[in-house]
């Protein structure tokens, strides 16, 4: 493991740990120990603690107390509950955004959609990450800080459960969702926006039906 350069060290450690968790290099249930990570990344304890705090905020790990963390073990019930919660929360975010007028959210959303549609890849970690960025961008620009902060932990839990998402979101359906979402904002069309959200929900639920989760 190369030494992390001293430029936003905590963020770099966090991003590297996220990649390792997504790629199953660090498995659910694995304890993340400050001293071990400090030696592994060749940095001080402070950026390691900060990176672990970020992982906790975004749902990748659970807090065991006394600054001890472990990668979250995701059960079927937890994922099903979060998918349902995410569905209703996203619908609320769309209602708020459309009520404010499209300009507040639309320009940021379109930028994220354009990046996804122009990446030139299908069903790769990059294309699916860019697709996830569409929804992360949407949540960030709903104009409701409460929704954005409540959505933060979903990212990590879904990443631990679904890895890089390539099996969750087929490219063709992802493209259609993005097109429907943009059109919904352009036309202030709530029905089309709901259709996009429901398609995402179906992808999540279809994966859950095909996936084996640990029994706790």
pLDDT value of position 176: 93
pLDDT value of position 42: 92
- Taking Cα atoms as reference points, which of 86, 92, 87, 195 lies closest to residue 143? 92
Q: How far apart are CA 145 and CA 158, in angstroms?
A: 21
Could you give the 3-state DSSP secondary structure of residue 62? Answer: strand
Instruction: Kindly report, residue by residue over 64-116, the tens digit of the pLDDT.
Output: 888 789 999 888 888 888 888 888 888 888 888 888 776 778 888 999 999 99
Ramachandran region, residue 65 (left: φ > 0; alpha: ψ -120 to 50; beta: rest): left
Taking the model in full, what pTM does it have?
0.74
Paired strand residues for 32: 69
Instruction: Kindly report, residue by residue over 147-204, the tens digit of the pLDDT.
Output: 767 777 777 888 888 776 777 888 888 999 999 999 998 998 999 999 999 998 998 8
Listed range (32-36, 52-56, 102-106, 157-161) with the worst mean pLDDT:
102-106
Residue 5 has pLDDT above 70, yes or no: no
pLDDT value of position 47: 92
Length, in residues, of the chain: 216
- Taking Cα atoms as reference points, which of 35, 46, 38, 22 lies closest to residue 132? 22
Average pLDDT over residues 33-41: 93
Q: What is the DSSP letter of 72?
A: P
Reported as a pLDDT band with limits 50, 70 and 90, residue 215 is: low
Q: How far apart are CA 16 and CA 12, in angstroms?
A: 6
Residue 30 has pLDDT above 60, yes or no: yes
Reported as a pLDDT band with limits 50, 70 and 90, residue 61 is: very high
pLDDT value of position 214: 66
């Amino acid at each position: 493991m190369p030494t992390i350069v001293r430029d936003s060290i905590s963020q770099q450690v966090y991003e590297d740990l996220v990649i390792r968790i997504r790629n199953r290099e660090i498995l659910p249930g694995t304890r993340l120990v400050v001293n071990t990570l400090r030696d592994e990344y060749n940095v001080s304890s402070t950026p390691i603690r900060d990176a672990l705090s970020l992982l906790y905020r975004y749902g990748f790990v659970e807090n065991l107390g006394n600054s001890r963390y472990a990668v979250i073990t995701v059960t079927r019930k937890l994922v099903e509950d979060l998918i349902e919660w995410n569905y209703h929360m996203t619908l609320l975010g769309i209602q708020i955004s459309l009520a404010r007028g499209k300009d507040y959210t639309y320009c940021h959303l379109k930028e994220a959609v354009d990046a996804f549609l122009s990446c030139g890849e299908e069903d790769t970690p990059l294309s699916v990450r860019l697709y996830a960025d569409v929804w992360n961008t949407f949540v960030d620009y709903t104009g409701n800080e409460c929704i954005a902060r409540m959505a933060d932990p979903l990212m990590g839990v879904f990443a631990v459960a679904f890895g890089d998402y390539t099996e969750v979101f087929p490219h063709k359906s992802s493209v259609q969702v993005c097109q429907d979402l943009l059109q919904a904002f352009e036309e202030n069309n709530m029905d089309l926006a709901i259709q996009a959200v429901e398609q995402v929900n179906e992808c999540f639920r279809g994966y859950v039906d095909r996936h084996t989760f640990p029994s706790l």
